[in-house]
Structure 1
Amino acid sequence: MVVPEQSGRPTETVSRNAVVPAKPYPAVTVPPHDPPHTHPPHVTEPRSRRWPLLVALAVGLVIIAGVLYRQPWKATSAIVTVEVVAPGPITRVLAINGRIAALRSVDVKSTVAGTLTARMAQEGDIVQRGAVLATLDDTSQTAAVRQSIAALEQAQVAQTQAGEALDRAEALRENVSRMVLEDARHAMVRADQEVGRLRALVDQAQFLLTKFSIVAPIAGTVLKRNVDPGQVVDPSTPLFTLADLSDLVVETNVDELYATQIKAGMPALLQLTGATATQAGHVTFVAPVVDAGTGGLAVKIAFDTPQSAPVGLTVTANIIVDRQDKAISAPRAAIVTTGQDHSVFVVTADGKAHKMPVTVIDWPAERLLVTDGLKPSDRLIVDANGLADGKSVKVKER
C-alpha cells in the first residue's frame, strides 16, 4: 500500500509477504538471425531494352510467313532449256598447235678434228649443194699428201728399174740361168704391188684433205652456226644447221587419246601466227610409235601450196577427222558421264525429265557426236546439271 508523505512524494512500502525481485544478470549480446528471404520489389525494365526483342520477333514472323508462302515442302518444277533433236551436217575437228619446220633439214658436222679458219658461212646464207661452209687448218694433212706422193714416185722409179732388169734377163734368156730370170720377174711383181699400195695411200691422203673443207650436203639456208673461227672441233661437234626452206611442213604432237583416229591424208586447215587467212593442208606423216615420255604422237602436216615462213613459227592446225552430212549431236553440258557410261535427259509428254543412255564419241569440242540413244524429234535438255530421272520440269521459252 502506498501512503503519500507529507512532502507530497510517494514512498514505497514493502509488505512482509511480498517477493523481492532478483537482481538482473548482466546483458548478453545474441547475434541477430538472418532475415527471411524476401523478393526484391518489382522493377519495370526501361523501354529501350524492349526494342531488340521486338525486332527479333518481327524478323522471325517475316521468315515464317515467307516459308509458308513458298511452301518448299511441295515439289517444284525445274526450268530447263531444250532443243529438238534433228540430224544435220557435223564435222569432227582436232585443234592443235604446231611449228613450222623444213621437210629436209640436216646438222652439218666435221668428219675430222681440227681448228676452224676464218672462212665460214653466216646464218641466213643461201648455199648450193657442195658449197664450202667452213675450212679446217689442213697443214698437217697437206704434208701427209706430199709425203705419200714422194713415196709413190720413189716406188715408181724402182718399178722402172725392175722392168728394165726383167727386159735384159729375157733378152739374154739363152745366156742367163733360169733362176736369174725368175728373180727378175718376181722383182717386177713386187715393184708393181708397191706402186699400187703407195698410189692407194696417196688417194687416201688426198681424200682426207678434202674433209678439211666442210661442204653443204644439200641446197638450202643456213639456219644456225654453232661455232666460231679458231675453235677446235671434232666429229661430235655440230657446226651448222642447214634446211631447205622451199618445202615447209608443220610438226606437231597429238595426244595418245586420239592416236588411233589420225591417219595420213586427212585434210587440215592451217593458220600461221599473225595471219588472218587459213591455208589448206593435209597430214603427210603419222609416227608409228607414241612417245612414252610425253604421251604424244608425232604428226607432220604439209601445205597444199608452197609457203614462205620462218622455221619455228607457231601454226594453229585443225585436222578434219570426220565429216557427216546427217548425224545427231548434243551439247557437252547435256551429257552426263558416269564412269564409261553416258546418258542424257529428254522431256516426256507429261512434263518430266527422262534419263536415257546414249553412245557418244568423246572429242574435245562443244558438241559431241551421238551414235546411239537419241532419235529425231526428241526434246533434249541442253543442261543436265541438277536433274534427276522423273523430276518435273518446265520448258523455258527461248
Structure 2
Amino acid sequence: MDRSDAIGDERAATPARPTWLRVALRAAGALALLLVGAVGGALWSERRALRGELAGPVGPAAGVAPSTAAPVAAPATGAPGGGADEAPLEITLPPEAVRRAGLRIATAATARPAVTLTVPGTVVSNAYRETKVAALVGGVVRQILVELGSTVRRGAPLAIVFSTELAEAQMKYLAARAMLHADHQKLVRTRRLVAIGAASRQELEEVQATHDAHESELAAARQRLLLLGLTPEQIDALGGASDVAAEVTVAAPVDGVVIARGVNPGQAVMPGQELFVVADLSTVWVIGDLHESDVGRVHVGARATVTPPTTPSRPVVGRVSYLDPRVDPATRTAKVRVEIPNPEGTLRLGMYVTLALEVSAERPVTVVPRAAVQTIGERTVVYLPVADGEGRFVERPVTLGATFGDVVEVLAGLTPGERVVTEGSFFLRAEAARLRAGG
C-alpha cells in the first residue's frame, strides 16, 4: 500500500463531526471577535475624550451639547450683604425730620493724632528744688535733731555744731564794740575841747578817723557772726564774755523733707561741708528710658500720664521737661524727664511707675469723629450727605483702625475732604434699618 492509500484509509477511519457542533464553534468565535472589538472601541473613545479635555473646553463645535442648567443668580442690587457691587443705600428725609434729628456735618481729615507710648519710670526728687545744707563753721557735731524723711519748716533746727571758730568771732565782735565805745567817748570830749580852744582841729580829725575805723571793724565782726549762723537778736544779746556761746545751730533754709544726711554726732566738719539735703517734694520728676527709635517722637512739653502702683485708679498728669540728647551705647536708650505735681505726697522717691507719653503718630492717617461711625451687625458705616439733594444721605461701609480720643482712623471707605454726618448719625441708622425691613 502506498502513502496516498494510507491517508485515505486514515480519514475514513476518523468519525465525522456533527453539523450543530460546527455551527456552535463558529458562533463562539464570532462573539469573541465582537467582544474584542467593543472593548477596543471603548478604550479608543476614552483616550479621545481625555485628549479633548486636555486640549481645551469642549463646546458645540466639538460635538458636545451646551449645558441646559440654569445660571447662578447674582445678589439683588441693594440687598444687604450684596458684596462689593452692592449699591449704596440712600436715605431721604423731609426738612422737618432733618431739623428734628439735629444733624451735624464734619469733614474727614488727614492728621497725625496723638498716640500713647508707654515706658517704665522711676520717681526722683526735683533737683531744682533741692537745697543743700552746709556747715558755716568748722567744728564737731554735737547733736542731730532730724532723721531722714523728716518734714521740716524753714528755720527749724537740724543739728548743733560745737565750734571754737564761732567763739573767737564773738570775742572779736565784743572787743570791736568796746573799742568803738571808748572811741565814741573820746570823740565827744575832743569836740568839747576844740569848742573851748583847748584842743586843735588836727587832734579832732585824728580821733574821728580812729572812731570811723573801729566802727567799720565792728560792722565787719557783726557781719561775720551773721554768716556763721547767729541771728541779729542773738548778736544784740551779747553783753560780755560770759554770753559767748561756742555752739551754733544749723537751721533748715526752706520748707521740705530731709532726703539726705551726711553727718553723725561726734563727726568733725569743715566750713562748707554738706550736712543735709532738704527737698521740696510738692513736685517730683519721673525718669524714663526711651528706645532710640522713639526719641524723635517725643518733644519737650508733651503731655505725660504717670500711674502709681499704689493708686492705679488715680493717674497723675504732667509734662515732659527734658529729653537727654545722649543715647546710652549699652542700652540704646535716652533719658526722658517728666515733671509731676505731688501735693499730697503720693509719689514717693524711688517708686516704680508706668509712664505714658503722648506722641505723634508715625504717619498721617484719615480720621473722622467717633460720633460719625455707626455699627450695624458686624459692619461699620458712615452717612454722607448727597451734594445735589437736601435731606438725602448715602450709607457707606468703612474699615476702621485705631481710636485716638474723640476721633477714629479710617483705613478704607473714605478719603480726606469727604463730608460725613456726626451728630444724629444714629437717627440715619434707624431710618436705614426701617428701609431694609421694607417699612
TM-score range, shorter chain: 0.5 to 0.7
For 2:304 and 2:172, how far apart are their aligned partners in 1?
A: 62
Which of the two has greater helix per residue?
A: 2
Aligned to 1:153: 178
CA distance in 2, matches of 1:242, 1:203: 28
Q: Distance in 2 between matches of 1:142 and 1:163?
A: 32
Equivalent-residue separation in structure 2 for 1:144 and 1:120 (angstroms)? 25
1:243 equivalent to 2:279? Answer yes
Paired AA for residue 217 in structure 2: L
Structure 2 CA distance for aligned equivalents of residues 214 and 274 of structure 1: 36
Computing the radius of gyration from Cα coordinates, the structure with the larger value is 1
The answer to whether the 8 A contact 1:267-1:283 is kept is yes
Paired position in structure 2 for 1:207: 226
State the partner residue of 2:200.
181
Indicate how the Cα distance of structure 1 residues 279 and 88 shifts in structure 2: closer, same or farther if over 3 A, else same: farther
Within 1, Cα distance between the matches of 2:301 and 2:344?
Answer: 17
What SS does structure 2 have at the residue aligned with 1:99?
A: strand
Change (3 A) 1:293 1:168: farther
Q: 1:270 aligns with which of 269, 287, 306?
A: 306
Match of 2:360 in 1: 322
The secondary structure found in structure 2 opposite 1:254 is strand
Number of residue pairs matched? 245
TM-score relative to the length of structure 1: 0.52
- 2:133 — aligned with what? 108
| CA distance 1:304–1:243, shift in 2 (3 Å) | closer
| 1:221 and 1:245 in contact (8 A); partners too | yes
CA contact (8 A) 1:251 1:301 kept: no
1:290 aligns with 2:309: no
Instruction: Give the distance between the partners of 1:304 and 1:225, measured in 2 at CA.
Output: 23
Deviation by residue 1:117-151 (Cα, 9 ceiling, x = unmatched) = 12431122211012111121134412331233123
- Residue identity in the other structure for 2:121: G
Is the alpha carbon distance of 1:316 and 1:109 closer, same or farther for their aligned partners in structure 2, counting shifts above 3 Å? same
Unmatched runs of 5 consecutive residues or more in structure 2:
1-108, 231-247, 368-401, 403-409, 414-439
Question: Counterpart amino acid of 1:207?
Answer: L
Q: Secondary structure at the match of 2:260?
A: strand
Partner secondary structure for residue 263 of structure 1: coil
Q: Which amino acid aligns with 1:189?
A: Q
TM-score of the aligned structures, taking structure 2 as reference length? 0.48
Q: How does 1:122-137 map to 2 (within 5 A)?
A: 122-137=147-162
Select between 146-155 and 317-326 the one with higher mean Cα deviation: 317-326
**C-alpha separation between the residues in 2 aligned to 1:283 and 1:290?**
18
Give, as a single letter, the amino acid of the residue that structure 2 aligns with 1:101.
V
RMSD: 3.8
Aligned-pair identity (%): 19
Q: Which one-letter code corresponds to 1:227 in the other structure?
A: V
Q: Is structure 2 residue 347 aligned with structure 1 residue 309?
A: yes
1:219 counterpart residue number: 255
User: Aligned-pair distance for 1:293?
Assistant: 5.5
